[in-house]
Every structure is written in C-alpha cells, then in structure tokens.
Structure 1
Amino acid sequence: MVTVTHPPVTRCRPRLIATDLDGTLLRDDKSVSARTVAALAAAERAGVEVFFVTGRPARWMHVVSDHVHGHGLAICANGAAVVDLHSGRRIVQVRELPVDAAREVVAALREAVPGSTFAVERTGGMHYEPHYSPLFEDDPGASVAPVEKLLSEDCGHAAEPVLKLLVRHGRWEPDAFLELARAAAGHLAEVTRSSPSSLLEISGLGVSKASTLARCCAERGINPEEVVAFGDMPNDLEMLDWAGASYAMANAHPDVLAATTGRTLSNNEDGVATVIEELLAS
C-alpha cells in the first residue's frame, strides 16, 4: 500500500504549488475530482498560489480552466508558453524553438533514427507530417506536409513562433528512443517525453518546465524553497529537482520515483489533493 511521504522542508507552508496535469492532477479519464477542486481552492484561500505546469498546449487547457483562482496563469508546452486562463487561454509569454534549430534537429534525427515522423506545435496550433499517427485532438487550422515544408518560410504559418517539435517512432521503446534522440540532438534543443508511447517533445535549448517556473517565481519574489511540485514523467524531472519540496505520484515513471524523496498516492487516488490538505493542516 502506498503512503504519503513528506520531504522535511514541507513542514512549513509553501507559497506556491506547481503541479503537472496528465498523470498527476488529472485522473486517467482527464477529469478533476471534486476533492482536488476543493483542495486547490483551499490553497488559494490560504494565500498559496497554484501553477499548472504541463506539456499541453494552451488550447487543451479547458480541462482545468474552470478550476483556476487568483492569477490564473499556467505554464504550457513544457515551458514554452505562459498562458492566462482567465482570458480565454491567451498566450502571454513565449519561449520559442528557433526555426533554424528545429531544422537541425529534424536533420539529426532523420539520420540517427530513420522512420521518425514529426509534428510542429506553433502558437496557433499543430501541423503534421502525412504519416504522423495517431493525431491528437481535432485542430481545424492544422496543415499536413513534410516537416521541412512545415518549417519553411512559405508554409503559411511562418509568423507563428514554434513552441516545440513532436516526433514519433513506431518501433522504438520510449526510454530508448529518448536516449538515442538526446545523443543525436541534445546539443541543439531540449528533448524529453511525457507520453507512455514513443512520442518525444523537443523545445528550445534551456526551455523546460523548471526554467519557466523559475522565471515566474522570480517575478513574484518566490524562492525555490517555497515551492512544492508534483509530477510523474521525465518532462517533470527538472521541475521536481528545482522545487524545494517535490512529490512523485505513485504511478510515476521509475526515473521520477528515483529522483524524489516525497511520495503521494496515484492520480486516480487524488494524490495531489491529499498532500495539499496535509500541508494546509500542518
């Protein structure tokens, strides 16, 4: 049976809670439980800010838009965008992946991992290669073309900054695919994963959940020691390491479990809410 284990620094009340969404705050059916909604509201009433920090793009934040309080900001696309959930999920800050770097990443991965297929996430939406599968949610503005065309100056979306590349491969085990891609392109961009499948996410050098969260906290005069973070996948590792107190979900990836001293229940058991309730009561 999994029990909650607290890092020592959580004995004082935090000033900010940073939580991942999929596999962490959200249940597997992508819902937010009534208990979690109540815990988030209680934290905000107690003066503790809550940041949703996710790999999701802004347009997929409807799952939590009704549950934000206070500032209403979220960090999306693994740190590439800061989004105002109080104003229709408007992107207010962008940390883009330069197009030249994206092209170099594509070339490096084409050589290192033949058969890779790409998608390009821009501020206005997702665009796919013809054989990229499966697609995500419906995106009326999506275009389909080879990735070299999607990254060209005449693609029709060149004015929209690139937030990240996504790359799939049907025959590689996810962690092995991540290791290979980092060896081939890690000097060009940040390479991580949040999916249980062989789907990698590639952002600009230095862009991560952790680095954007650090910027947002610095703007508020909040130190890492005053932050409690929750996560479950490799794209959460830097954030969990940066925060003063970190919790891995019971369902977390083995690397996340190994890197954190705090443990909580699974996402389907309201693990985030359990910790928030205990922190507020301490």
Structure 2
Amino acid sequence: MGEDGSVTSASQCPDGPLPAPRLIATDLDGTLLRDDQSVSLRTVAALAAAEEVGIEVFFVTGRPARWMDVVSDHVHGHGLAICANGAAVVDLHAGREFVQVRALPRAAALAVVTALREAAPGTSFAVELTTGINYEPAYPPFYKDPGAHVAVAEKLLAEHTDEAAPPVLKLLAHHAELAPDEFLALARGAAGEYASITRSSPTALLEISGQGVSKASTLALCCAERGISPAEVVAFGDMPNDVEMLSWAGTSYAMGNAHPDVIAAASGRTTANNEDGVAVVIERIVADRIAQHQHGASSA
C-alpha cells in the first residue's frame, strides 16, 4: 500500500524482486477459484511451479472438508488445508482426514443463538459439525448436503453433548433482510464476546467460530510448527474472513474483486479471481526465485 493510501496492483509493482516466501496461503472462493468454481490451467501450473522451487502451498478456506473436491485434482505437495475458517486442519492426501480441530463450544454457540435471536429477529441458523451440517427449517437448504438433519438450533446444539459427540466447527447465521455488513456489525456487537464472527458470502450469511479461531490464528499455528515466520508468508484473499490472515502475513494481496476491508488490510493488490490474480503474483515470485538461484550458481 502506498504512502497516500493507494493500493498497488501486482501488474504495477516495482520492477525489483518480490519477497522470497517459504509458504503461500490462499483462499479459494473468489480468490484461487474462478466464479465457475474451476481452477485455471495457469493457476495449476503456478502452484506446481511454486512447489518445485521449494515454496509450500496451503489452501485456507471457509469451506468444510467435504467441499474440498474443487481442488482435489490439483493437490501435489500441498496436502494440508485449513478449512471452516480455521476450525479444522485437513489432510487432503488422506481422504480429508482431520489433523486438528479447534471446536466451537456448544455453550458458546447457544449463547450466540440466543443473542442473535434477540438482536436480529428472523435470523436462521445452521450447525456445521465434523460429520456434516444440520440446519433449521427456515435456513436456506444446502443442496450439497441432502442428508442434513433439520431442527431448531437449540435442539441441534443440545443433541449428543457427551464426550463422543462430533465437535461443532462453526455456526452459520442467515438473515433474509439485513445487508451483509450491517448484519456482521450487529452480530459482533451482540455476540462477539462469545465467539469469532465473520463472513465470506455476498449475502447476509455469517460464519461463527470459537473465540480466537480464524484463518490467521490457525495458519500461525501451522507455520510455527514448521519454523516459518509471518515475514516468510504470502497470502491471498477477497472477503472479510480473510482480513486477519492478510494482516498477519508479511506480504498479502487483495484480489481485484475484493471487499473494501480486504483491500485496506492487504499490503498489495492483484487482478481479479477470473483473471488468475493469484497466478499473476506466484509467477513473479517463482521467476525471482529462479533468477536468484541462477545468479548464485553463476557467482559460485
């Protein structure tokens, strides 16, 4: 971001080399994926090239593990994904096995439901578990999950409360009338003391995780395990649920189609998802890495 507050496009970056990262963290919907949910051949090649020069790739998404089929054909070394906005780390090479779960306590979820029913009448809820999703009768149906159990949120959260119960990854809250950002601000004011609340949908659909759980906090844990500092991470995103991750990473890019809050949080800007904005930056990073290696070899 420039001193005058303007954002530099990746295509307008200075001619000098980009940072030499050890890890690339990218959101999926609206970022790596095109609007038709595809991964372009250019992006597939860029991801593979990054790994060939020793840069680890992490998919970091609000999607549940069972919806990661959109990138399953493009998983090379990047087998781990952070799903459900940081609530789960999943091994895509092992049948989407949960490696780590950061659950939303059921008591906290119930407190959020109570607070939002009072603050925003007409809110409907869904409960995302490690085993799948369940939702209220008024909640927009999940056509990808035809086997979901339908009941009021209080009942869904009260069921199976013993230690063997499947963990709650996140609570979803939908409102048919409020504007998305208005609903987010209202919910954070009414229930922010109980959980972390964000959004990634263009509609008034909120995603509610355990307190302190976010893409950023889980990515930080994964990086710490690998001895990778924030300065060695390049991140990409487009929606409010990416803001913390983009702020945490040493270098970050808002997509050309990004929400204003994301543009403000990122250190740079690339082209839109339908224009392969992630690949545009990765290609520059890889080219710089190769050039540095060649220079080092010629100097030896």
The 1:137/1:93 distance shift into structure 2, 3 A limit, reads: farther
Is the 1:117–1:167 contact (alpha carbons within 8 Å) kept by the matching residues of 2? yes
Displacement after TM superposition at 1:18 (Å): 0.1
The whole-number CA distance in structure 2 between the counterparts of 1:46 and 1:98 is: 41
1:199 alignment partner in structure 2:
205
The whole-number CA distance in structure 2 between the counterparts of 1:43 and 1:157 is: 42
The whole-number CA distance in structure 2 between the counterparts of 1:29 and 1:184 is: 35
Is the 1:7–1:245 contact (alpha carbons within 8 Å) kept by the matching residues of 2? no
Is the 2:10–2:280 contact (alpha carbons within 8 Å) kept by the matching residues of 1? no
TM-score normalised by length of structure 1: 0.95
1:20 alignment partner in structure 2:
27
1:70 alignment partner in structure 2:
77
The whole-number CA distance in structure 2 between the counterparts of 1:129 and 1:42 is: 44
The 1:9/1:100 distance shift into structure 2, 3 A limit, reads: farther
The 1:260/1:138 distance shift into structure 2, 3 A limit, reads: closer
Three-state SS of the structure 1 residue aligned to 2:110 is helix
Displacement after TM superposition at 1:207 (Å): 0.2
Displacement after TM superposition at 1:153 (Å): 3.2
- The structure with the largest alpha-carbon Rg is 2
Residue-by-residue CA offset, 1:200-252 (whole Å, 9 max, x unaligned): 00000000000000000000000000000000000000000000000000000
The whole-number CA distance in structure 1 between the counterparts of 2:28 and 2:78 is: 18
Residue-by-residue CA offset, 1:150-204 (whole Å, 9 max, x unaligned): 0013589971000000000001000000000000001110000000000000000
Task: Note the 1:168-187 alignment, pairs <5 A.
Answer: 168-187=174-193
The 1:113/1:224 distance shift into structure 2, 3 A limit, reads: same
The whole-number CA distance in structure 1 between the counterparts of 2:286 and 2:142 is: 37
The 1:71/1:29 distance shift into structure 2, 3 A limit, reads: closer
Q: Match for 2:99 among 75, 92, 109?
A: 92
Q: Match for 2:222 among 213, 216, 227?
A: 216
Which has the higher mean CA deviation after the structures are superposed, 34-43 or 68-77? 68-77
1:162 alignment partner in structure 2:
168
Is the 1:33–1:270 contact (alpha carbons within 8 Å) kept by the matching residues of 2? yes
Displacement after TM superposition at 1:126 (Å): 0.5
The whole-number CA distance in structure 2 between the counterparts of 1:234 and 1:32 is: 22
Q: Match for 1:51 among 40, 48, 58?
A: 58
The whole-number CA distance in structure 1 between the counterparts of 2:217 and 2:162 is: 31
The 1:202/1:46 distance shift into structure 2, 3 A limit, reads: same
Three-state SS of the structure 2 residue aligned to 1:181 is helix
The 1:7/1:201 distance shift into structure 2, 3 A limit, reads: farther
Q: Match for 1:242 among 240, 243, 248?
A: 248
The whole-number CA distance in structure 1 between the counterparts of 2:69 and 2:14 is: 32
**4+ residue segments displaced more than 3 Å:** 5-10, 153-158
1:130 alignment partner in structure 2:
137
5+ residue gaps in structure 1? none
Q: Match for 1:120 among 94, 118, 127?
A: 127
Is the 1:27–1:33 contact (alpha carbons within 8 Å) kept by the matching residues of 2? yes
Is the 1:6–1:261 contact (alpha carbons within 8 Å) kept by the matching residues of 2? no
Q: Match for 1:260 among 255, 260, 266?
A: 266
Count of residues in Structure 1 that have an aligned counterpart in Structure 2: 281
TM-score normalised by length of structure 2: 0.90
Which has the higher mean CA deviation after the structures are superposed, 65-74 or 157-166? 157-166
Residue-by-residue CA offset, 1:46-70 (whole Å, 9 max, x unaligned): 1000000000000000000111122
Residue-by-residue CA offset, 1:102-160 (whole Å, 9 max, x unaligned): 01010010111111000000000000101101x23332441000001100135899710
Is the 2:10–2:281 contact (alpha carbons within 8 Å) kept by the matching residues of 1? no
The 1:202/1:9 distance shift into structure 2, 3 A limit, reads: farther
Three-state SS of the structure 1 residue aligned to 2:31 is helix
Three-state SS of the structure 2 residue aligned to 1:127 is strand
The 1:11/1:154 distance shift into structure 2, 3 A limit, reads: closer
The 1:49/1:116 distance shift into structure 2, 3 A limit, reads: same
5+ residue gaps in structure 2? 1-8, 289-300
Is the 1:21–1:52 contact (alpha carbons within 8 Å) kept by the matching residues of 2? yes
Three-state SS of the structure 2 residue aligned to 1:11 is coil
